[in-house]
Structure 1
Amino acid sequence: MQVMRAMRLRWTGAAVGVAVMVGVLIPGMPLIADERVETAYSRELDAKLEQAGENRAELEKALDEVPKAQRKGMHFLIAYMPDSDARSLNAAYLLNNVAWAYKARENFTWAKQVPEDVFFNDVLPYASLNERRDDWRQDFYKRFSKYVKDAKTQEEALMAVNRNILKELKVEYNTKRKKPDQSPYESMEQGMASCSGLSILLNNAFRSVGIPSRVAGIPAWTTKRGNHNWVEVWTPVDKAWHFTEYYPDAKGLDHGWLLADAAQANPKSFYHSIYASSWKSTGLHFPMVWNMKNKEVPAVNVTERYVALGGENAVGENDCELRIHRMVGGKRVAIPVVVLQGDLKIAEGVSPKPSDDMNRFYTVVVRKGQIYQLMWKDEVSGAMQRQTVTTPKDKTWLEVKLGG
C-alpha cells in the first residue's frame, strides 16, 4: 500500500505506535518511525516547505527519496536554501548534489575528519553566492578527484586543486566577461570570469572533493577604489579558516597581494568590512556589489581576523591627520564638515573661522593610505558637496582645502 505524502507531520513514538497497532496509514506519516529526523533546524525546514509554494512537491520528493545516511544533510540543505531556490529547484538536482557530496566524504580521508556542521554548511551546498544553479557537483568530482587521489592530507589535496584548476577549467581573469556573478559553466563557456566568477569556480572545486570552502570578499577597499572576492578553506589540523585565490600564492595559504589591503579593512563599516559566505542563517548577509538589494546569501563578518593576520601591514588609527579648512575669496569660512569612510561616519566638526590662527585647522586622525569622503554644505547654493581624499602612505598629515 502506498503512503500518501501530501503532508509532512512530526510524530511522537506513541503516535506512531498507535497508528501501527490499528493498521492506519496516515498521510505524511513515515513507514519507519525514525524516518523524520528531528534536528535543531526542523522549524526552518517546515518554514521552507511553506515558502516553496507550488514547488513543495519537489522538495518533499527529495526529502522522501534521499538515503537514510544522507537524510540529515538534505534536511539542512533545504532548511536554509534561499527562498528562490525553494520555489524552483527539482528533486533530481538536490538528490544528485547530496549524493556526490557524501561520496566525497566517504572516499577522502580528510573529508571524514570534517565535523558534521562544517560539512553541512561548507561542503554540501550547491551554490556559492547568487550565481545560476548549475548541476556541477558530479562533473567537478570527476575532474578534480584525479588530482587529489594520492594526497595524504587535506592541505596536499587543496594545493593540488588550487595548482591545477586553471589547467583543468581553462578560465582566466578578464574584465570582458559577460557578468560578475557567473555560474561555473557560464565562465567555462566563455573562458573568462571576474574575481567573483573565479572564486565560485575554486569554491566548487574544493567542495567537490570534500574540502570545506566558502567565498569571502570586501564590498569596497579602504585603500583604493573597487571591491574584491576570494576563497577561504577550513583545515582540520587547526580547525580554522585560511584564505587563498584562484591564482594561488607560491607561499601557500594566507599569503597574497590582497593581505596588505585586507588588513586595513574597517569592521565598523558595512562597506569596508570583510565577509565570508554561509549557508546557514547568521543575521548578516553577503554584500554582492552587482546586486546590493539581494540579501539571500548569509555571511559572517571576518574583518578582525584579516586585520590581525596582516600584522605589520595593519595600520594604526593615529597615523595621519586630516587638516581641514574652507577658503572663499581668500578668507577662511567656518562651515560644518562631516568625515566619512563609506557608510561610516568618522567625525564631524566645524572648519576654522576667519579670526582663527592660520595654523589652526579642523583636525581628524585617520589612517595612512586610505580613502575618505568629506561632506559639507555650499554657502551660496545650500547644496551638499562631497570631496574624496586619499591619505598619504609616507606622511603623518594631509592639508585638505574644501572645494579645491
Structure 2
Amino acid sequence: MKQIFIYNSIMNKLAILIVIILSTWGCQSKYPGVPATYNSLLETAFTNAGKNATELQKALSESPKEQREGMAFIISHMPQRDLSTIKADFLLENAEYAYKARKKYTWCATLPDSVFFNEVLPYANISEERDPWRKEFYSRFAKYVEGKDDLVAAVMSIAKNIKDEVNVKYNTKRSRVDISPFQAMKENMATCTGLSILLTDALRSVGIPSRLAGTAMWTNYKGNHTWCEVLIEDEWKFIEYYPEALNKSWFLADAGKSDPNNMLHWIYAASYKPTDMPYYAAPDGRIIEVVDLNKLPNKVRPQFEEMKASMANSDKKETLAWGVNVTQRYIDLYHESIKNSPLQDDELMANVVVFDNDNTSKSDSRTSCRVDVQLSEKNINFGYSPRKTDDMNQFLQFKLKKETKYKFVVSHPESKINKEFTITTGNNTTQDIQLILK
C-alpha cells in the first residue's frame, strides 16, 4: 500500500508539472522581454501599421530591456493615424527620456507601471501634431524641479515658470485649437487646449503624471474649457497654465454645476489607453455623435451643426484620445469649496433636493433636475440636484440670504418637468429645502 501511495503521489506531481509546462508554453510571449498579454495587441498593431510595421518592430526590438514593456504598451494602444506614420527613432527617443525621468525623480520611480505607462510615457495627449518634444522639454524643465523632494512644489514650479520658459501666451489668433507644443512656441500663442497640452507635456517631461481634462460645453452654454490634472498621492488634482493653486481656479463653479446626466456637459479626463468612450471634450467634434442637436439652445446650435458637417466630410472619425468621466469629482470639489468658504452674517447654506413624490426618506424618490434660483425675477444661481444613486447626504447647495423670498425653477426637458416653487429662507445658518414635484 505504501508503494502504491508513493507511486500515485509521484504521478500526481508529474501531472501537475506537465499542466504547468503546457500552460506556460501556451502563454509564452512572442516578443522577448514583453509580457504575453501584449501578444495579440502587438500583432493587431503591426497588421494595422501596414508598411510602417517595420518601424514599430524596430522600436520594440531596439528598446532596452527595462523599457520594452513600456514600448509594447505605447505601440499596442497607438491610434491608427500614428501606427502608419510614426517612426522608430521618434518612439525610442520619447521612451529614453521618459525612463531617464523615472530613474532620476523619486515621484516617478515609485509610480505603478500602469500610471507611468498611461500618464507619463505617452508622446501625445489628443489630436495635436506629434512633435518630438520629450528631449527638449526634459532639458528645459529639469532646472525647475532640481532639488525638490515635494511633488506639489515641483508641480507649482513648472506651472509658474512655463509661460516664460516657452514664451507662449493665451491668444485666440492661434492657428488651431489643438495646437502642438512646437507650433505654439513658434506662434507664441495658444488657447486653453494648446496651453494645457504644453503644461501636461512639461510635467510629463520630469516624470510627473499628468493628463488633459475638460468639457465640451458648460451647462450655462457659455463655452468649453480644457485644463490639466496631476496625480498627487494617488489623487487627481487640477492645475492650469496660469495657476492659482492645486484644485483652485475660476472655472470650478462652472465645473461644479455640470449635469451628470448629459454627456455634453460631463467633465472628461484623457487617457492614452482605450476606455469605454472617446475623450468627448476634444476639439475634433466627436461629441456630436451623442448630442441631439435639436435640443441645443439656438445660440450654440450653429456651432455644433458646423462641427457635424465637418465630421461628415472628413476622415476624423478615428478615436485619437480616450476619455474617463470625472464629472462627479468636480461637483464634489465645488460643493466642498462652498462648505469651506465662510458665511456672511446675513447668509445661510441651503441644502436642496428634488423629489418625485412626498416620500422624502427614500433615495428612489429623488430625481436629478436643473434647479435655477431667482431673486426678483433675476437668475442668480443654478445647479443639478442629486440623483437616485447619490448618497442620501448629498445635496445641491446654494449660499442664500436669510429671510429672503426666492423662486426655485425645477426643469428637465426630456421628462417634461417645469415647475416653480416660492420659498422664503429662515434665520438659521442652514436650511433644508425639499422640492416635491407631485
Same fold judged by TM-score > 0.5?
Answer: yes
- Residues 365/218 of structure 1: CA separation in 2 closer, same or farther (3 Å cut): closer
Q: Distance in 2 between matches of 1:255 and 1:13?
A: 51
| Residue 161 of structure 1: aligned partner | 158
| Residue 100 of structure 1: aligned partner | 97
Secondary structure at 2:228's aligned position in 1? strand
| Residue 264 of structure 1: aligned partner | 257
Deviations 1:175-194 (Å, cap 9, x if unpaired)? Answer: 11111000001100011101
Aligned equivalent of 2:276, options 279, 283, 287: 283
TM-score, reference length from structure 2: 0.66
| Residue 198 of structure 1: aligned partner | 195
Alignment identity in percent? 42
- Residues 29/39 of structure 1: CA separation in 2 closer, same or farther (3 Å cut): closer
- The alignment status of 1:367 with 2:371, answered yes or no, reads yes
Q: Distance in 2 between matches of 1:312 and 1:152?
A: 29
More helix by share: 2
Amino acid at match of 1:120: F
Computed over aligned residues only, the root mean square deviation of the Cα atoms, in angstroms, reads 2.9
Tell me, yes or no, if the aligned pair for 2:79 and 2:319 is still in contact at 8 Å.
Answer: no
Q: Distance in 2 between matches of 1:37 and 1:204?
A: 26
Secondary structure at 1:367's aligned position in 2? strand
Q: Distance in 2 between matches of 1:399 and 1:255?
A: 29
Secondary structure at 1:233's aligned position in 2? strand
Tell me, yes or no, if the aligned pair for 1:220 and 1:228 is still in contact at 8 Å.
Answer: yes
1:167 Cα shift? 1.1
Tell me, yes or no, if the aligned pair for 1:263 and 1:313 is still in contact at 8 Å.
Answer: no
Deviations 1:130-188 (Å, cap 9, x if unpaired)? Answer: 10000000000000001111111211211111111011011001111111000001100
Q: Distance in 2 between matches of 1:186 and 1:50?
A: 32
Aligned equivalent of 2:169, options 169, 172, 188: 172
Aligned equivalent of 2:323, options 289, 299, 303: 299
Report the number of matched residues. 310
Secondary structure at 1:230's aligned position in 2? strand
Secondary structure at 1:396's aligned position in 2? strand
Secondary structure at 2:265's aligned position in 1? coil
- The alignment status of 1:308 with 2:332, answered yes or no, reads yes
Amino acid at match of 1:122: E
Deviations 1:300-343 (Å, cap 9, x if unpaired)? Answer: 00000000111166897758xxxxxxxxxxxxxxxxxxxxxxxx
For 1:237-252, what aligned pairs fall within 5 Å after superposition? 237=233, 239-249=234-244, 252=245
TM-score, reference length from structure 1: 0.71
Amino acid at match of 1:272: H
**5+ long unaligned stretches in structure 1:** 1-10, 18-27, 320-346, 348-363, 371-389
Q: Distance in 2 between matches of 1:171 and 1:289?
A: 20
Q: Distance in 2 between matches of 1:178 and 1:211?
A: 29
Amino acid at match of 2:208: I
- Residues 76/311 of structure 1: CA separation in 2 closer, same or farther (3 Å cut): same
Secondary structure at 1:52's aligned position in 2? helix
Which stretch shifts more, 149-158 or 181-190? 149-158
Q: Distance in 2 between matches of 1:14 and 1:43?
A: 16
Secondary structure at 1:89's aligned position in 2? coil
Q: Distance in 1 between matches of 2:148 and 2:94?
A: 24
**5+ long unaligned stretches in structure 2:** 1-21, 287-316, 339-349, 355-366, 382-399, 401-405, 412-438
- Residues 299/233 of structure 1: CA separation in 2 closer, same or farther (3 Å cut): same
| Residue 142 of structure 1: aligned partner | 139
Amino acid at match of 2:246: L
Amino acid at match of 2:320: E
Q: Distance in 1 between matches of 2:37 and 2:351?
A: 42
Amino acid at match of 1:297: A
Secondary structure at 1:129's aligned position in 2? coil
Tell me, yes or no, if the aligned pair for 1:123 and 1:212 is still in contact at 8 Å.
Answer: yes
Amino acid at match of 1:70: Q
Aligned equivalent of 2:67, options 67, 70, 77: 70
1:369 Cα shift? 7.1
- Residues 178/369 of structure 1: CA separation in 2 closer, same or farther (3 Å cut): farther
Tell me, yes or no, if the aligned pair for 2:73 and 2:117 is still in contact at 8 Å.
Answer: yes
Q: Distance in 1 between matches of 2:166 and 2:54?
A: 35
- Residues 294/198 of structure 1: CA separation in 2 closer, same or farther (3 Å cut): farther
Tell me, yes or no, if the aligned pair for 2:196 and 2:212 is still in contact at 8 Å.
Answer: yes
Deviations 1:247-289 (Å, cap 9, x if unpaired)? Answer: 001xx21011111110011122111000000011111111223
For 1:324-363, what aligned pairs fall within 5 Å after superposition? none
Secondary structure at 2:372's aligned position in 1? coil
Q: Distance in 1 between matches of 2:218 and 2:373?
A: 11
